[in-house]
Structure 1
């Protein structure tokens, strides 16, 4: 039991102290045993839950999830403070200095405040002297489609870009043919599949589409149609395993066609 007096409301400093108490001897054994590595997945999951709260347009949910992310930040800072390497104030000092440096147009040093000027200042700050270094700096831990998009965007700023969307589509078709050839030869399938996905991201960029969001939408569509198929199978008094692939695909197409008709109807109303 630690010496702690409850309060009607708490602030960030209170949270900092609570984390310290939890991790200290006599606190929570689980909290005290955590490391950056053991918490890594938790941090990623909490960030995605913030994104979900944003998608829901729910302030209450967003407030809760931002609190979970803030806890993760304080937890990692507490681990480093105990190790004597840095503390939360030094984290705040670093980000304040970064923001001031990257906004000279706001803090009195002039400049334009454009995306290009931001990138130039970022390169200066990180000591990047080549275009390749800007690509290498894109975090490897990002979801693959987002990482591909960022790498391609940085390459495009260096002038390395297809001239138009059709050229990107032609490249996508080329990569599909190479994947089909790899499958036929049972060789380099993973590499060619990666090339196809990378080319698909390039097409998405030309149409200003977030590839991750596009794929997320398709996942939801797949679940919706799958649910319809399963409901149809259940209505027959059978299970999914009782039907062969051809029978299941027939039900799938039945679910798919009404959606396509509804889509055309919506498009017709907007024309």
Structure 2
């Protein structure tokens, strides 16, 4: 295969990538030096870049970032093949077998007509596969907000959940009141206040799940909105010959309100 020639079929395009990976691992000083550990933080970075592109709804950037992630997956498999642990074929067969096993309603006799039924089947299958806890599959290194969502989803998969969103909102209000009570005391216990604040966040994440809002996406969109508005504020302040630290809050609010209209 000519690696300089664009391929039209998925199989040949994937083979082209594998061939290039072999060349780089054999001939490029940087690629030859990489290990599973050295690639890890780069993979995390690429995943966040893909996440940004998805939130921006930039399809061309999504395509580019998917390619970067794909390269990393091939890279890990290449390194493992050199130590005879596994290769890319083992990886692909493994995920195929896992998908078949996890979808008995497609490849077997199990009935699951709803998304909820599918999720419940998944958790039962995972326990049969050797998981000691329903929550065992939640990575400990996940960011706390995402981890809370995954914990709640997995608990729901085995029926541990509220009946309706009104109950969940009542829990949010209960946690908010407990958090507020910590600051009405003469002596504030910061450890206790931190714990109560965590309960507030957990209950809000739970409510978001009930109304089909992804809390990670929601917060990141707010982050992006704040950054855009704050940078508008900085730009307008600069045009006015002022430094933000020398402006009053009322002066900054004028530009901030303008930013909301853009």
For Structure 1 versus Structure 2, the TM-score category normalised by the shorter chain is 0.7 to 0.9
Alignment of 1:121-160 (within 5 A): 121-127=121-127, 133-157=133-157, 158-160=159-161
Decide whether the 8 Å contact of 2:208 with 2:214 is kept in 1. yes
State the 1:178 CA deviation. 5.9
Decide whether the 8 Å contact of 2:131 with 2:137 is kept in 1. no
State the 1:213 CA deviation. 1.7
Alignment of 1:157-172 (within 5 A): 157=157, 158-161=159-162, 164-172=167-175
Aligned partners of 1:237 and 1:52: how far apart in 2?
33
- What are the superposed Cα offsets for residues 156-215 of structure 1, whole Å, 9 maximum, x if unpaired? 343343762431321341353266479933445654443332233123223322111221
Q: 1:222 aligns with which of 219, 226, 229?
A: 226
Residues 227, 107 of structure 1: CA spacing in aligned structure 2 closer, same or farther, 3 A cutoff?
same
Decide whether the 8 Å contact of 1:105 with 1:112 is kept in 2. yes
State the 1:64 CA deviation. 1.9
Q: 1:16 aligns with which of 10, 15, 18?
A: 18
Aligned partners of 2:130 and 2:252: how far apart in 1?
51
Aligned partners of 1:167 and 1:227: how far apart in 2?
38
TM-score, normalised on structure 2?
0.80
State the 1:117 CA deviation. 3.8
1:213 aligns with 2:217: yes
- What are the superposed Cα offsets for residues 226-253 of structure 1, whole Å, 9 maximum, x if unpaired? 234324432442212333xxx1x22343
Decide whether the 8 Å contact of 1:23 with 1:31 is kept in 2. yes
Residues 66, 236 of structure 1: CA spacing in aligned structure 2 closer, same or farther, 3 A cutoff?
closer
Decide whether the 8 Å contact of 2:50 with 2:65 is kept in 1. yes
Decide whether the 8 Å contact of 1:168 with 1:202 is kept in 2. no
Residues 18, 156 of structure 1: CA spacing in aligned structure 2 closer, same or farther, 3 A cutoff?
same
Aligned partners of 1:88 and 1:129: how far apart in 2?
23
Secondary structure, counterpart of 2:16 in structure 1? helix
1:233 aligns with 2:237: yes
State the 1:224 CA deviation. 3.0
Secondary structure, counterpart of 1:171 in structure 2? helix
Alignment of 1:188-199 (within 5 A): 188=192, 190-199=194-203
Unaligned runs of 5+ in 1: 263-271
Decide whether the 8 Å contact of 1:123 with 1:129 is kept in 2. no
Residue number in structure 1 paired with 2:10: none
TM-score, normalised on structure 1?
0.77
Aligned partners of 2:111 and 2:43: how far apart in 1?
35
Residues 32, 179 of structure 1: CA spacing in aligned structure 2 closer, same or farther, 3 A cutoff?
farther
Q: How many residues align?
A: 253
Decide whether the 8 Å contact of 1:43 with 1:69 is kept in 2. yes
State the 1:71 CA deviation. 0.5
State the 1:20 CA deviation. 2.2
Residues 202, 251 of structure 1: CA spacing in aligned structure 2 closer, same or farther, 3 A cutoff?
farther
Unaligned runs of 5+ in 2: 8-12
Residue number in structure 2 paired with 1:107: 107
Decide whether the 8 Å contact of 1:135 with 1:154 is kept in 2. yes
Residues 100, 59 of structure 1: CA spacing in aligned structure 2 closer, same or farther, 3 A cutoff?
same
Larger relative contact order (Cα-Cα within 8 Å, sequence gap ≥ 6): 2
Decide whether the 8 Å contact of 1:102 with 1:118 is kept in 2. no
Secondary structure, counterpart of 1:7 in structure 2? coil
